[in-house]
């Protein structure tokens, strides 16, 4: 049997082809870090190089919420009471110079205790957000009398308290730190005048939480859906 020979039209090796330069599948070359692109699958607008390299940027970091209290700066009042706070006893709004340090607003709550406890409280609407998280409650307090104001957090059936204020001429931060249990069924925070008689000024109350490490839902491609089909 004779030796076989390839067809005269046969080709050997890789055949170079011209790039597709038109239409949906056009080869536009690599995207630059400055170029904005759109995902063809979900329409998300992004920068392929920048966003793809940063998809896991925050994975494993701790989520920290901003202030979860409403009207913590005591700027809003209705009928003599601070909005969003449940009152037991009475406080008054004050804008007198020297009674507050600047916090972006112009007023503070003035509490004058004379034998009876004064309480301001807020119930947190979604306590389960604090499951296994760290709770941080703080407020700025000014009083010329020791032990007028302290903070309280009721986490489920347990109550936690901060230290009392110290007498001084300027505002000081008083705060409370609680490691919450795995299941938080209810959460209420308080600002209390429940010990010594005296006048105190209260401002900039905040409630924050941190915990729950972040995870990355997409590991490559479009940060929104993971597609690599861009235009």
CB 108 within 8 A of CB 203: yes
* Closest residue by Cα to residue 200 from 139, 124, 129, 133: 139
According to CATH, where is 2.60.120.260 located in the chain?
64-210
Query: Which CATH architecture group holds 64-210?
Result: Sandwich (2.60)
- Exposure of 16 by Cβ count < 10 A (0-12 exposed, 13-18 middle, 19+ buried)? exposed
Rounded to whole angstroms, the Cα distance separating 103 from 151 reads 20
The pLDDT, as a whole number, for residue 57 is 52
The pLDDT, as a whole number, for residue 99 is 65
Question: What CA–CA distances, in Å, run from 225 to 24, 35, 40?
Answer: 20, 19, 10
The pLDDT, as a whole number, for residue 31 is 57
The two tokens of residue 63 are: 């989520």
The pLDDT, as a whole number, for residue 54 is 53
The pLDDT, as a whole number, for residue 43 is 75
Residues 6+ apart with CB under 8 A from 31: 37, 47, 48, 49, 230
SS3 for the chain is CCCCCCCCCCCCCCCCCCCCCCCCCCCCCCCCCCCCEEECCCCCEECHHHHHHCCCCCCCCEEECCCCCCCCCCCCEECCEECCCEEECCCEEECCCCCCCCCCCCCEEEEEECCCCEEEEEECCCHHHHCCCEEEEEEEEEECCCCCEEEEEEECCEEEECCCCCCCCCCEEEEEEEECCCCCCCEEEEEEECCCCEEEEEEEEEEEEEEEECCCCCCCCCCCCCCCCEC
Terminal alpha carbon distance of the chain: 57
- Exposure of 89 by Cβ count < 10 A (0-12 exposed, 13-18 middle, 19+ buried)? middle
Residues linked to residue 188 through DSSP beta bridges, in sequence order: 123, 154
The pLDDT, as a whole number, for residue 105 is 80
∠125-128-131 over CA atoms, to 5°? Answer: 140
Low-confidence ranges of the chain (pLDDT < 70): 1-17, 19-20, 24-35, 47-61, 63, 97-100, 102-104, 212-221, 223-224
């Amino acid at each position: 049997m004779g030796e076989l020979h390839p067809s005269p039209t046969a080709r050997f090796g890789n055949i170079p082809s011209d790039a597709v330069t038109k239409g949906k599948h056009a080869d536009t070359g690599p995207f630059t870090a400055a170029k904005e692109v759109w995902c063809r699958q979900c329409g998300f607008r992004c920068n392929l190089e920048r966003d793809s390299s940063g998809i896991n940027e925050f994975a494993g970091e701790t989520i920290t919420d901003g202030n979860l209290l409403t009207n913590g700066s005591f700027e809003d009042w209705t009928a003599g009471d601070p909005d969003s706070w449940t009152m037991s006893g009475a406080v008054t709004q004050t804008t007198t110079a020297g009674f507050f340090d600047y916090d972006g607003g112009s007023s503070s709550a003035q509490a004058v205790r004379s034998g009876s406890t004064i309480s301001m409280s807020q119930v947190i609407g979604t306590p389960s957000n604090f499951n296994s998280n760290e709770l941080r409650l703080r407020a700025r307090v000014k009083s010329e009398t020791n032990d007028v104001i302290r903070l309280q957090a009721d986490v489920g059936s347990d109550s936690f308290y901060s230290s009392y204020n110290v007498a001084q001429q300027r505002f000081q931060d008083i705060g409370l730190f609680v490691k919450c249990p795995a299941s938080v069924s209810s959460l209420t925070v308080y600002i209390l005048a429940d010990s010594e008689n005296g006048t105190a000024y209260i401002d900039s109350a905040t409630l924050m939480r941190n915990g729950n490490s972040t995870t990355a839902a997409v590991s490559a491609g479009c940060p929104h859906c993971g597609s690599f089909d861009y235009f």
